[in-house]
């Protein structure tokens, strides 16, 4: 059997596959399909300081090779998460990444500080949500703001800090370098690409929020490009995601430089997607006589 384990920020993942934040809730709905311990890790739904009800519906729209969402960080708040969801997740023998967000650097720091006194393994700071009016994408599209929010959270926690970047920028490498400078231990990317659909019969945008985040297979080449550029620009590990639907996609993203891979929208079309992807990666490594998945990280040979 090829070794699928990877290490990120001194944390061992039994395999590199992690369901992405926002598509897997807190794992409960998926446990009827397979033991959560089969997963490398789980990134939980974005948690804010207080409960949020999210945006008005409709907040999902189909696209040719993916979907648009404008959920807007609906969540029960960090206190509820710590009391009711985290204890359950921590019994599952998999790495838990608590995804956090906020409208201000202070709010993000408050959430991180509360999580710091729990046993959660990692904090993933989302500076890239396109669906909230304050904070969200604004943090992830300016180097100064990205640095400010990362540094505020860095001061609030000693946990390994992964900063999740927005693809809606001119230069992903500048933002990645800014958060590395501010103390991030790793970066994850990409979040959704800002998009829009219009109902041509009513002339109304399909989403009540008018615009939303595009995810799914259609964004995969953008993710590969941005992971590759980022991995070449920073020294900290990169966790890749965006449109991954197969083990081959995950291998490709790792060749681009990702140390682990998150799987988002694919779990909506097939709840078994993460475990199938793990098996497909295993098959690829064995067929190609590669003993450890670590060997393929960043192994692309650019022209």
Ligand X SMILES: Cc1cc2nc3c(=O)[nH]c(=O)nc-3n(C[C@H](O)[C@H](O)[C@H](O)COP(=O)(O)O)c2cc1C
Measured between alpha carbons, how far is residue 292 from residues 14, 177, 285 in Å? 12, 29, 8
Q: Does 40 bind ligand X (CB under 6 A)?
A: no
Q: Does 215 bind ligand X (CB under 6 A)?
A: yes
Whichever of 78 and 266 has its CB closer to ligand X, that residue is: 266
Encoded one letter per residue, x for contact with ligand X by CB under 6 A and - for no contact, window 227-266 reads --------------xxxx------------------xxxx
Q: Does 45 bind ligand X (CB under 6 A)?
A: yes
**Are the C-beta atoms of residues 42 and 96 closer than 8 Å to each other?**
yes
Task: Give CA angle at 100 (99, 102), nearest 5°.
Answer: 155
Annotation says 143 is catalytic:
no
Encoded one letter per residue, x for contact with ligand X by CB under 6 A and - for no contact, window 48-87 reads ---------------------x-x-x--------------
- Cis status, amide bond into 74, omega within 30 of 0: no
**Are the C-beta atoms of residues 163 and 179 closer than 8 Å to each other?**
yes
Cα torsion 207, 108, 266, 287: sign: positive
Whichever of 156 and 261 has its CB closer to ligand X, that residue is: 261
**Are the C-beta atoms of residues 165 and 189 closer than 8 Å to each other?**
yes
Q: How far is the CB of 55 from ligand X (least distance, A)?
A: 11
Q: How far is the CB of 244 from ligand X (least distance, A)?
A: 5
Q: Does 16 bind ligand X (CB under 6 A)?
A: no
Task: Give CA angle at 78 (55, 60), nearest 5°.
Answer: 25
Q: Does 21 bind ligand X (CB under 6 A)?
A: yes
Nearest to 40 by CA among 11, 9, 1: 11
> Catalytic residues, which ones?
129
Sites of contact with ligand X (CB under 6 A) = 20-23, 45-46, 69, 71, 73, 99, 126, 129, 164, 191-192, 215-216, 219, 241-244, 263-266
């Amino acid at each position: 059997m090829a070794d699928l384990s990877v290490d990120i920020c001194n944390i061992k993942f039994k395999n590199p596959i992690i369901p992405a934040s926002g598509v897997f809730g807190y794992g409960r709905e998926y446990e009827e399909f397979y033991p959560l311990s089969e997963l490398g890790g789980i990134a939980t739904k974005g948690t804010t300081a207080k409960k949020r009800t999210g945006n008005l519906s409709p907040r999902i729209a189909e696209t040719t090779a993916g979907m648009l969402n404008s959920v807007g960080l609906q969540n029960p708040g960090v206190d509820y998460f710590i009391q009711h969801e985290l204890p359950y997740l921590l019994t599952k023998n998999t790495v838990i990444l608590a995804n956090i967000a906020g409208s201000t650097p202070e709010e993000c720091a408050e959430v991180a500080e509360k999580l710091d006194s729990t046993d959660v393994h990692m904090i993933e700071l989302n500076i890239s949500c396109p669906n909230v009016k304050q904070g969200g994408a604004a943090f992830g599209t300016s180097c100064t703001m990205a640095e400010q929010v990362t540094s505020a959270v860095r001061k609030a926690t000693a946990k390994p800090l992964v900063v999740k970047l927005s693809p809606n920028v001119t230069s992903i490498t500048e933002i990645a370098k800014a958060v590395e400078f501010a103390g991030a231990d790793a970066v994850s990317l990409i979040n959704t690409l800002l998009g829009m659909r219009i109902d041509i019969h009513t002339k109304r945008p399909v989403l009540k929020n008018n615009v939303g985040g595009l995810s799914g297979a259609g964004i995969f080449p953008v993710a590969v490009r941005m992971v590759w550029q980022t991995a070449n620009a920073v020294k900290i590990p990169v966790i890749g995601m965006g449109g991954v639907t197969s083990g081959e996609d995950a291998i490709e993203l790792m060749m681009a430089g990702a140390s682990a891979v998150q799987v988002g929208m694919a779990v909506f079309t097939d709840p078994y997607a993460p475990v199938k992807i793990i098996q497909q990666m295993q098959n690829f490594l064995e067929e190609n006589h590669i003993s450890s998945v670590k060997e393929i990280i960043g192994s692309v040979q650019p022209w």
